[in-house]
């Protein structure tokens, strides 16, 4: 019996059982919440991990002079969100590509390329401030488009193409900047990373806006449905009329655009076009997407889930920094989380198939 038919029968059976059992208000609210999480592919496990991690980091963080845990202060909360904003936008790009059974290993390097490109245009060449935005986003989108073109037209595996772009983009960033940071951006650009309208850092608003728009695109538009269908079964998607080449090309371009956006936010935050920016950020982005419920092998993706995954990574990094854990141990922890996330996702998928 096909998995789809099995699901229909199980759903029908579950509905019959639920109909025979009276449900109180608390039960109805719980069911509504579970249905919402299921529709958005947000894992209950991810929410539980985030809550548990917050408790653990709060317990082991140092205290202020007044006895308050540093981790629980409002200032530290904003630090977590600010750090999450950069690789959270990267993770959104990764979610689009991975949902279609692709991979983009160049995200961190493209972020660095976008950072120095935008800064060089307005600082070195002294062009108007808005060219920092145009340059950063354009550099990111161009790198993503090159990835997509080679993957779709050259039929080179995405792993190889984006691994090559990782080196190319980083090298270009170093060439453009002569291996040095580019300082002194205009105030209009710095507003995107350092302003605090209503007391909230600007990157928080930007991340929220990008996440909501991306969620709508992936979950509620034909483009998003085609993306998930492509990741689930490319042959079936092609048979139903999806232009596979164009779809993949657009997905890699979006991924690069998100890397450019992240590079712009990073540059505005630190007031520097940094050629080394985003080093190993692709690991954070991919891990956040997978923890959030995106299937590494395609067919399932959730932008809202990715945001939860990004918060988990942000809380983990922040807590380890507060506990003075050295950077190379943090890299080991992030790598272990990635392996564990993929393994647990596979265990869960096999469990569903067996039922």
For 33, the domain range is: 1-39
Identify whether residues 149 and 285 lie together within a single domain. Answer: yes
Considering only CA atoms, give the Rg of the chain.
21
Q: Is the same domain home to 94 and 14?
A: no
The pLDDT confidence band at residue 22, using thresholds 50, 70 and 90, is low
- The verdict on 245 and 336 lying in the same domain is yes
123 phi and psi angles, rounded to 5 deg:
-100, -55
The mean of the pLDDT values for the chain is: 86
User: Mind listing the pLDDT tens digit for each residue in 239-254?
Assistant: 999 999 999 999 999 9
Task: Out of 34-43, 221-230, 286-295, 299-308, pick the least confident.
Answer: 34-43
Query: How many other CB atoms sit within 10 Å of the CB of residue 217?
Result: 16
Q: Can you tell me the distance from the alpha carbon of 308 to that of 341, in angstroms, rounded to the nearest whole number? A: 13
Give the CATH number, domain containing residue 219. Answer: 1.10.3470
**Are the beta carbons of 313 and 94 closer than 8 angstroms?**
no
Residue 254 burial by CB count (10 A; 0-12/13-18/19+): exposed, middle or buried?
A: buried
Place of tokens 């003075």: 324
Could you tell me which residues come within 8 angstroms of residue 60 by beta carbon, excluding any fewer than 6 positions away? 319, 323
Is 146 in the same domain as 294? Answer: yes
Q: Taking 50 as the threshold, does the pLDDT of residue 101 lie above it?
A: yes
- State whether 19 and 92 are in the same domain: no
Of 42-46, 143-147, 246-250, 331-335, give the lowest mean pLDDT range: 42-46
**Average pLDDT value for residue range 59-74:** 84
**Residues 84 and 29 occupy one common structural domain:** no
User: What 8-state DSSP symbol labels residue 197?
Assistant: G
**CA 126 to CA 1: how far, in whole Å?**
66
Out of 130-134, 304-308, 351-355, pick the least confident: 351-355
* pLDDT for residue 151 is more than 90: yes
- In this predicted structure, the answer to whether residue 256 has a pLDDT above a threshold of 80 is yes
The total number of structural domains in the chain stands at 2
Residues 32 and 87 in one domain: no
Under the banding of pLDDT at 50, 70 and 90, the label for residue 34 is low
The span from the first CA to the last CA of the chain, in angstroms, equals 12
User: What does the pLDDT read at residue 62?
Assistant: 85
Does the structure show a pLDDT above 60 at 69?
Answer: yes
> Are residues 172 and 321 located together in one domain of the fold?
yes
CA–CA dist 151, 162 (Å, integer): 9
Confidence category of residue 353, pLDDT binned at 50, 70, 90: low
Kindly indicate the confidence band of residue 9, based on its pLDDT and cuts at 50, 70 and 90.
Answer: very low
Report which DSSP code applies to 53. H
pLDDT number for residue 347: 75
The DSSP H or E segment spanning 272 is: strand 272-273
Is residue 50 over pLDDT 70? yes
Q: How confident is the model at residue 7 (pLDDT cuts 50, 70, 90)?
A: very low
In which band, very low, low, confident or very high, does the pLDDT at 39 lie, cut at 50, 70 and 90?
low
pLDDT band of residue 6 (cuts 50, 70, 90) is very low
Residue 105 burial (C-beta neighbours within 10 Å; 0-12, 13-18, 19+): buried
Q: Are residue 32 and residue 80 in the same domain, yes or no? A: no
What's the pLDDT at 233? 92
Give dist(CA 141, CA 125) in Å, integer: 21
pLDDT of residue 78: 86
Q: With 0-12 CB in 10 A as exposed, 13-18 as middle and 19+ as buried, what is 33?
A: exposed
Q: Per residue in 337-346, pLDDT tens?
A: 878 877 877 7
CA distances from 278 to 32, 87, 170, 230, 294 (A): 39, 8, 10, 29, 22
d(CA 154, CA 161) in angstroms, rounded, equals 10
pLDDT, position 177: 94
Name the residue among 195, 201, 103 with its Cα closest to residue 144. Answer: 103
Percent of the chain having pLDDT more than 90?
A: 57
Q: Considering the chain, what percentage of its residues have pLDDT values greater than 70?
A: 86
DSSP state of 15: H
DSSP line for 72-94: GSHHHHHHHHHHHHHHHHHHHHH
In degrees, rounded to 5, the angle at the alpha carbon of residue 202 between the alpha carbons of residues 198 and 318 is 105
Is residue 30 domain-shared with residue 59, that is, in the same domain?
no
DSSP at 63: B
**Closest of 113, 114, 127 to residue 174, by C-alpha:** 113
Same domain, 186 and 274: yes
Which pTM was predicted? 0.85
Residues 108 and 193 occupy one common structural domain? yes
Is residue 339 a contact partner of residue 310, using CB atoms and an 8 Å limit? no
Q: Examine the pLDDT at 158 and tell me if it is beyond 60.
A: yes
């Amino acid at each position: 019996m096909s998995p789809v038919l099995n699901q229909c029968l199980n759903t029908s059976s579950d509905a019959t059982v639920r109909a025979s059992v009276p449900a109180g208000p608390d039960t109805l609210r719980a069911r509504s919440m579970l249905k919402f999480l299921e529709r958005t592919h947000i894992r209950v496990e991810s929410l539980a991990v985030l809550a548990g991690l917050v408790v653990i980091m709060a317990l082991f963080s140092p205290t202020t002079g007044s006895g308050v845990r540093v981790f629980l202060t409002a200032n530290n909360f904003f630090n977590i969100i600010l750090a999450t904003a950069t690789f959270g936008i990267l993770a959104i790009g990764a979610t689009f590509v991975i949902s279609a059974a692709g991979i983009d290993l160049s995200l961190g390097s493209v972020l660095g390329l976008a950072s120095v490109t935008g800064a060089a245009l307005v600082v070195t060449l002294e062009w108007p401030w808005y060219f920092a935005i145009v340059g950063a986003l354009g550099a990111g989108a161009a790198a993503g488009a090159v990835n997509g073109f080679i993957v779709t037209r050259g039929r080179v595996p995405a792993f190889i193409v984006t691994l090559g772009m990782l080196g190319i983009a980083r090298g270009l960033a170093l060439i453009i900047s002569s291996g040095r940071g580019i300082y002194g951006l205009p105030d209009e650009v710095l507003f995107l990373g350092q302003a605090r309208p209503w007391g909230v850092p600007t990157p928080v608003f930007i991340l929220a806006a990008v996440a909501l728009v991306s969620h709508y695109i992936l979950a509620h538009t034909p483009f998003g449905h085609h993306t998930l269908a492509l990741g689930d079964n490319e042959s079936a998607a092609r048979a139903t009329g999806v232009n596979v080449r164009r779809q993949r090309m657009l997905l890699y371009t979006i991924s690069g655009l998100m890397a450019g956006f992240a590079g712009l936010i990073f540059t505005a935050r630190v007031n520097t076009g940094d050629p080394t920016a985003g080093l190993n950020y692709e690991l954070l982005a991919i891990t956040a997407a997978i923890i959030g419920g995106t299937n590494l092998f395609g067919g399932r993706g959730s932008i809202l889930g990715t945001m939860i995954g990004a918060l988990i990574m942000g809380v983990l990094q922040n807590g380890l920094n507060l506990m003075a854990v050295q950077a190379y141990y943090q890299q080991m922890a992030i790598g272990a989380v990635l392996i564990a996330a993929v393994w647990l996702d596979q265990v869960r998928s096999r469990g569903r198939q067996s039922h």
